[in-house]
Structure 1
């Protein structure tokens, strides 16, 4: 027996997995509980009247805020991963991120008038999630020795279960606590969830076996000083720009969300230009694959633009236009946000088996096209449901059908996107490309949050139909070029 095999035989395991997987599973489950709990009620809180304990924002503005909030979470995953890799190490980054997230929820839970603590809380949650989210996944991978791919894949499946369990439970629990304007109780529940996750993370740290203890590529002292100077200069510049904008009297929440949306869109454009226009010792084959990847990235952004309207436009539709009864029991509008993770838990193994069965006969571009078509079809259903709702409240099962179709679309696109990102990544950018993939979420969320402004110029049925047409048209274009993209990606011969 080899030394490595002997160590593996002596280590304490849970169903054949390192005990650390339980620690990370529970941490992620509670972090996702806090994240999706806040996400389920944030739109309603922002749009609620001041007398009802909310901020009194117009619904279009509230939608834009939720959109850029989601976008920034994904955008800051890039610097969050870099900080862990070069300064903190993944374990400390997760701990620091969780503490910052908890402080953000506590800020929002303080029941005082005014928006200052709300914006501070959202900013802290964004920063903390950017630190925690990319690095806890890294730690899962590091629990397993190199070459133990089967157990590692199974470990990530267990970890994915934790994500969706937290996302499933949170909307029901948090929204029921926040009923009748008791927003501070809902935000407080999210803070408690993160606190529970942090407590068991600290207590279970001994089971992590050193995973993520040290940065993978720690900065040298000189690099550290240079980074510190740049960070201080960057933060000072941003603060100065915001201060001058505020003093000009033209800074509004609406304009701020538009500015953040533009920045979010420019980041991946600049990043792809940097990759494709520079040398980076890339081979011609790697450069060709990256050109194909840009098309898939754009398709994914269109998908998330529609898919992530769930906590805003669809949540509002649930509250205003549906009969919120399931099996004879009344539910909150935000509880409909639990439909999605429930359906994902059910259908993940079905789609995993489907892709294995189809093998190489169906390429990534075709799967992306299917995902776009399905999310477009879901909004065609929404357009019809909105038409029916003009005569009175309709069954909440219409929303269940919409989420079912969207989950089929997500499972056609999202896991495939992760896989194709790692497959097409140039050697020089391999460790960064998953962060680039998450930028597609950021772009989609930011633009999607702005689309609600169309509701001021068209009816709900027309709005849903317009977005559906955009998605279906994008699916058709992608499908039409799928053969060419498969050649560029090296899936089939020219």
Structure 2
């Protein structure tokens, strides 16, 4: 296919029609809405399902192991974005890759809805991990495709897109979580599958009319001679992995704990290798190399942020289930409902932040400073959790308002960092690695959760104050350092604000 220019792609997309944004934002907004509904509905139940006793409809897995599995699952979901980025960049383009990802995600939720114990759990995890890796980074990359590099609506558009993601995350725990906890876990997981089906229908019905050429091209296609070599390597690697698993798992060599350690190590090594490959590639020019160097401190800051934010579905979920008074003003609460707080605050605050960035225009803080603000608020979200333990000890139930405050603070940080990070990634990415660089952005989350897989084991009521205090303090310190380094980092961005 003939290489398309950015101008041709932008002109092919209807530029007005969805809150003053390109019409294609409608398609991607609702595709991500339903994908996140399915994913966060499942996540709201999964930890409880794993550590609930078998007699009560769960799997009876040890609490510490269940928390590590949650973190590793989240890490693998985002780590698999490497696969999705590579397939989009070199084989299918982003539009087609998104569709196949959605199909796999739906299949994964269907498997989890079956009462087949741990076997169904791990099969489902595999399908959802691969499917999300195909879909998630590529949807965001299509959003970036619809805007010219100079379009001042870009950050605002990503904020609106981010609101759609979180509207799905808001409704999912309230609907899927309630059904799962009050009636049956598997029925809840089945509702998640239906959500993904609706998302696929919206995507297929509107993409041709609204997305134009965005995501239809393959930026760095494999040459005819490369395909056979690459597919042979992939096939051999898959066979080796299957053989090793078949030998080491029954022999007790590859245990869940050892697997979590392996993924934690990969969470550091993979993004490091990615930066090296992109920087040294002959397809990366001098300005792009400079932007890669500027991206590294942002990536490290994002890891620290996500290490805190993602513990909302692990540590704070367990805190809600075991340490929180589940009643408020006489109204009984489900512990899964607290997973709606993060997306609720984003839905409320995202339009405000989007409007602020548009009104400030060229006067808004630089990307690096926005990242530093995100880290400061993330650190504060953990520091406030010290207060109830310091006041009343760790053997009493805590007022749910403390959890509400913690989620509010981390969301303020998230709106400073996450949609801005998506936008910055599309602007700083080398042209030959556009989709793969978006995958690299999601690797910051994968790395954070890979590290969390080891950290979450340290949380116990008796270590609560030290746990929240140390992690929160490190985030604030890193945020201050990033703020001070902002002018120097900005120079490396070569004109990208």
Matches of residues 106-255 of structure 1 in structure 2 within 5 Å?
Answer: 106-112=110-116, 114-140=117-143, 149=151, 156=158, 158-180=160-182, 182-204=184-206, 207-208=209-210, 211=213, 212-213=215-216, 215-255=218-258
SS at match of 1:390: coil
Q: Which residue of 1 aligns with 2:384?
A: 381
SS at match of 1:432: helix
**Shift of residue 111, structure 1, vs aligned partner:** 1.4
Tell me: CA distance 1:281–1:149, structure 2 relative to 1, closer, same or farther (3 Å).
closer
SS at match of 1:250: coil
* 2:69/2:260 contact within 8 Å kept: yes
Q: Which residue of 2 aligns with 1:270?
A: 273
Q: Which residue of 2 aligns with 1:295?
A: 297
Matches of residues 286-325 of structure 1 in structure 2 within 5 Å?
Answer: 286-325=288-327
TM-score, with length taken from structure 2: 0.87
**Shift of residue 450, structure 1, vs aligned partner:** 1.9
SS at match of 1:395: coil
**Shift of residue 249, structure 1, vs aligned partner:** 1.8
CA distance in 2, matches of 1:489, 1:481: 13
Matched residue count: 484
**Shift of residue 305, structure 1, vs aligned partner:** 0.6
Q: 1:61 aligned to 65, 70, 80, which one?
A: 65
Mapped pair 1:346 → 2:356? no
* 2:160/2:354 contact within 8 Å kept: no
CA distance in 2, matches of 1:27, 1:149: 23
**Shift of residue 148, structure 1, vs aligned partner:** 10
1:163-216 Cα shifts (integer Å, max 9, x gaps)? 121111001111111115721011111011112222343444553465445645
Q: Which has the higher contact order (CA 8 A, sep 6+)?
A: 2
**Shift of residue 92, structure 1, vs aligned partner:** 3.0
CA distance in 1, matches of 2:368, 2:159: 24
1:308-356 Cα shifts (integer Å, max 9, x gaps)? 1011100110111112234542221111111111111222233344445
Which ranges in structure 1 are unaligned for 5 or more consecutive residues? none
* 1:24/1:140 contact within 8 Å kept: yes
**Shift of residue 294, structure 1, vs aligned partner:** 1.6
More divergent stretch after superposition (462-471 vs 386-395): 386-395
Q: Which residue of 1 aligns with 2:56?
A: 52
Tell me: CA distance 1:427–1:190, structure 2 relative to 1, closer, same or farther (3 Å).
closer
* 1:299/1:474 contact within 8 Å kept: yes
CA distance in 1, matches of 2:252, 2:241: 17
**Shift of residue 145, structure 1, vs aligned partner:** 8.2
CA distance in 2, matches of 1:274, 1:125: 27
Mapped pair 1:357 → 2:364? no
Q: Which residue of 2 aligns with 1:100?
A: 104
Tell me: CA distance 1:96–1:286, structure 2 relative to 1, closer, same or farther (3 Å).
closer
Tell me: CA distance 1:201–1:481, structure 2 relative to 1, closer, same or farther (3 Å).
closer
* CA RMSD, Structure 1 to Structure 2 (Å): 3.2
* 2:13/2:22 contact within 8 Å kept: no
CA distance in 2, matches of 1:236, 1:8: 43
**Shift of residue 124, structure 1, vs aligned partner:** 0.2
* 1:286/1:425 contact within 8 Å kept: yes
* 2:179/2:188 contact within 8 Å kept: yes
SS at match of 1:178: helix
Matches of residues 386-405 of structure 1 in structure 2 within 5 Å?
Answer: 386-387=389-390, 388=392, 390=394, 392-405=396-409
* 1:282/1:427 contact within 8 Å kept: no
More divergent stretch after superposition (312-321 vs 442-451): 442-451
Q: Which residue of 1 aligns with 2:443?
A: 439
Q: 1:336 aligned to 333, 338, 344, which one?
A: 338
Mapped pair 1:474 → 2:478? yes
Tell me: CA distance 1:369–1:134, structure 2 relative to 1, closer, same or farther (3 Å).
closer
* 2:163/2:346 contact within 8 Å kept: no
Q: 2:374 aligned to 362, 371, 376, which one?
A: 371
SS at match of 2:384: helix
Tell me: CA distance 1:348–1:26, structure 2 relative to 1, closer, same or farther (3 Å).
closer
More divergent stretch after superposition (309-318 vs 477-486): 477-486
**Shift of residue 147, structure 1, vs aligned partner:** 8.6
CA distance in 1, matches of 2:13, 2:455: 55
Matches of residues 59-98 of structure 1 in structure 2 within 5 Å?
Answer: 59-98=63-102
SS at match of 2:249: helix
Q: Which residue of 1 aligns with 2:42?
A: 38
* 1:322/1:396 contact within 8 Å kept: yes
CA distance in 2, matches of 1:345, 1:361: 21
CA distance in 2, matches of 1:331, 1:467: 28
* 2:13/2:23 contact within 8 Å kept: no
Which ranges in structure 2 are unaligned for 5 or more consecutive residues? 1-7
Q: Which residue of 1 aligns with 2:459?
A: 455
**Shift of residue 279, structure 1, vs aligned partner:** 5.6
Tell me: CA distance 1:9–1:315, structure 2 relative to 1, closer, same or farther (3 Å).
closer
* 1:52/1:181 contact within 8 Å kept: no
